[in-house]
Amino acid sequence: MPRPPSRTRRPVPHRSTRHAKTAPPRNGRGSGLRQRLKRDPLLFLLCLGALGLLTAAFALTWWVTGGLISLALALASLVPAFFLFYLRDA
């Protein structure tokens, strides 16, 4: 029984269905984070909620113990929350 002639396969260029994700251009301080906060409201709310819980914990500690350190930490934890709004709205 004769064998059929072997065929050589020609290389076929494969088409990619996925596009590579590229990072946004970084033009300044926090520009990548700024774009992500604008694009993703869930991330913004999670960050803001975590800072709110931290502030509430320090404020409650100050309320119970009356220590100045916990009051200072509660007030200092408000600064990153305002910075988040600045990054998102700028």
Domain ranges of the chain: 31-89
Residues 6 or more apart from 26 whose CB is under 8 A from it? 32
Contact 44, 88 (CB under 8 A): yes
- Pseudo-torsion of CA 24, 28, 32, 36, nearest 10°? -120
Tens of pLDDT along 50-89? 999 999 999 999 999 999 999 999 999 999 989 988 888 8
To the nearest whole percent, how much of the chain has pLDDT over 90? 38
| Per-residue pLDDT band at 14 (split at 50, 70, 90) | low
Contact 80, 51 (CB under 8 A): yes
Q: Which one is predicted more confidently, 69 or 39?
A: 69
Give the Cα-Cα-Cα angle 74, 80, 85 (nearest 5 degrees). 125
